[in-house]
Amino acid sequence: MTGKKRERLHEKIRDAMERQFADLAYFSPIPGERELCQMLGVSRPTVRKALELLEAENKIVRMQGRGSFYTGEKIPVDYSEAAERGFGLAQMFSAEGRVTRSTVLQQVVEPARGNLAAMLSLTEGTLVFHLKRLRYVDEKIYAVTDDYIPLALCPELVHTDFTAHGLLRTLAAHDVHPFAEDKTIEVIRATPEIALYLEVEEQAPIFVTRILTTDREGQIIQYATSKADAFRSRFRVRSTKN
């Protein structure tokens, strides 16, 4: 019984800390353990357990010798484990134990023009399948994504319900298998349309991820863009030396 009471207490203190830190800017320092004990009227072990919960939930970062810093509701975007987890937002976030879903905004066939034709290495006017979606993570809007795939690779895409089916899994079911991704990320300002979708202010910073996907033979099978609130994510990229 004592253990259960203690567990409930440090969870309540965790919630109290979240309310206390809610208005802090990203990566603001938070009070030390002794000060938190005085503020919240609890023991140091209880404060430590509450901080451990916040750290496990990626809401604070603790740095030895420097203290703890608030990161809020950042979603960890880990591109370093793609080989094990698979490509795509749904696969990546599902591996983190997060729930994803999509709302389809547009699902059309259109001719490739200009930069799109160049990115897909297609002749101008070649038909592509275009899927535009709102992507949710844990029931909160995360990104607006646009996926472009040469229609000849998988004509069945036109008749698929992408609120219920994943795009990359659908491609794999029709023997189109992604093997490598090339990503570029930059920060731009939100247009009125994107600001409306992402529920941010116009001109707010958003990051745009552009993804070019190829199969094992090096054929381009997809060009995609993902636009998300610049303050919602924390990226991890791992490099190795051969």
Burial label for 119, CB within 10 Å (0-12, 13-18, 19+), is middle
Partner residues linked to 110 by β-bridges: 128
Contacts of 5 (CB under 8 A, 6+ apart): none
pLDDT tens sequence for the chain (242 residues)? 444 444 589 999 999 998 888 777 667 889 999 999 999 999 999 999 999 999 887 788 888 888 888 877 666 666 655 555 556 676 666 666 667 889 999 999 999 999 999 999 999 999 999 999 999 988 889 999 999 999 999 999 999 999 888 898 899 999 999 999 899 999 999 999 999 999 989 999 999 999 999 999 999 999 999 999 987 776 767 666 76
Query: Which class in CATH covers the domain with range 75-236?
Result: alpha beta
What is the second-level CATH architecture of the domain 9-70?
Answer: Orthogonal Bundle (1.10)
Please state the pTM of the whole predicted model: 0.69
Provide the 10 A C-beta neighbour count for residue 72.
18
Domains of the chain, residue spans? 9-70, 75-236
Q: Is 2 helix (H, G, I), strand (E, B) or coil?
A: helix
CA-closest candidate to residue 78, choices 63, 64, 67, 89: 89
| 106 beta partners | 132
